[in-house]
């Protein structure tokens, strides 16, 4: 039975991803800072475990306790809505430490065993805000755009050893605790000089017809993990898909693996490979 470790499973996307893989017969290690199994079923194939992705000792302990990890989903993250001038640099560091460095640390922790087995999948949950510039999201967008760049380059390193890396870009999901918490963190810190800009932006989010659900994200992660032909970057949710098309980005090329397998054939047994060699990207460097 394949095993997946998912970070940030206390609610929202993480919980939906855990349920998706449980229903498909996977063994799930659902991690969160403070273990709270509410909303997750009692199952012999589910373990709920404490994990703080900003704590190296917590990472080492969780990875060791999990056992063989066939797939890792880096979902833990912090959201924030504020302009640069309204954000303390310490808060910006905290956000980048969780969203970017935490993802790197988890990836580094599982990679040696995956490399030794010449198989494995790592999926990083980014955001569709990286597809277009938006006000009040400059720091959050920077953390996720850096995750995109990291994953694109790391995917080439991982492919050398039969390991796949993928990105999932969710759209706006106000139904989730993540979305609500991002607004809560905004508080009263918005400088008056930016109040009208931020208010207009928030109104556009509330009135947008297209939204993303947690199930949209779970389905995209399922494809990223089980389908070797899935592109490097997958939008999740109607709004994310629209933004992806509007941006005019072609699917990212898949890096070729050195051992000729992409570790996954849609049923979790990891035998079929349908990857293709990298192709030139259809945009100018900057």
- Number of alpha carbons in the 13 Å side-chain half-sphere of residue 136: 25
Residue 134 CA to residue 91 CA, distance in Å, equals 19
Can you tell me which residue has the tokens 């800009």? 197
Strand partners, 123: 73, 166
Residue 49 CA to residue 104 CA, distance in Å, equals 20
Tell me the CA distances in angstroms from 162 to 20, 27, 221, 229, 256, one per residue in order: 25, 22, 19, 14, 9
> Quick check: 116 and 163 in contact, CB under 8 A?
no
Among 240, 199, 175, CA closest to 81: 199
> Quick check: 35 and 62 in contact, CB under 8 A?
no
Can you tell me which residue has the tokens 């992806």? 244
Can you tell me which residue has the tokens 């999948």? 121
Tokens standing for residue 6? 């998912």
End-to-end Cα spacing for the chain: 44
**Which residue among the candidates 140, 150, 178, 243 is catalytic per the annotation?**
140
194 is catalytic: no
Residue 252 CA to residue 247 CA, distance in Å, equals 13
Can you tell me which residue has the tokens 């940030």? 8
> Quick check: 109 and 59 in contact, CB under 8 A?
yes
Q: DSSP labels for 67-103?
A: -S-SEEEE---------GGGS-HHHHHHHHIIIIIHH
Active site positions, annotated: 140
């Amino acid at each position: 039975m394949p095993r997946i470790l998912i970070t940030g499973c206390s609610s929202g996307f993480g919980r939906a991803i855990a349920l998706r893989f449980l229903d498909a017969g996977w063994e799930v290690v659902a991690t969160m800072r403070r273990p709270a199994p509410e909303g997750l079923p009692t199952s012999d194939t589910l373990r709920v475990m404490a994990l703080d992705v900003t704590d190296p000792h917590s990472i080492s302990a969780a990875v060791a306790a999990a056992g063989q990890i066939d797939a890792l989903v880096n979902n833990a993250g912090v959201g924030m809505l504020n302009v640069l001038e309204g954000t303390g640099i310490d808060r910006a560091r905290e956000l980048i430490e969780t969203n970017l460095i935490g993802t790197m640390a988890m990836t580094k922790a599982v990679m040696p065993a995956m490399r030794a087995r010449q198989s494995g999948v790592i999926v990083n949950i980014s955001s569709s805000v990286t597809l277009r510039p938006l006000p009040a999201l400059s720091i959050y967008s920077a953390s996720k755009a850096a995750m995109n760049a990291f994953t694109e380059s790391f995917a080439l390193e991982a492919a050398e050893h039969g390991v796949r890396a993928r990105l999932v870009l969710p759209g706006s999901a106000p139904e989730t605790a993540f979305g609500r918490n991002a607004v809560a963190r905004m508080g009263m810190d918005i400088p008056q000089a930016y109040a009208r800009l931020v208010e207009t932006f928030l109104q556009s989010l509330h009135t947008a017809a297209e939204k993303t659900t947690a199930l949209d994200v779970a389905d995209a992660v399922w494809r990223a993990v089980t389908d070797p032909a899935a592109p490097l970057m997958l939008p999740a949710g109607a709004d994310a898909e629209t933004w992806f098309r509007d941006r005019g980005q072609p699917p990212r090329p898949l890096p070729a693996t050195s051992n000729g397998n992409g570790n996954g054939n849609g049923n979790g047994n990891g035998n079929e490979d349908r990857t293709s060699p990298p192709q030139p990207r259809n945009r100018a460097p900057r």
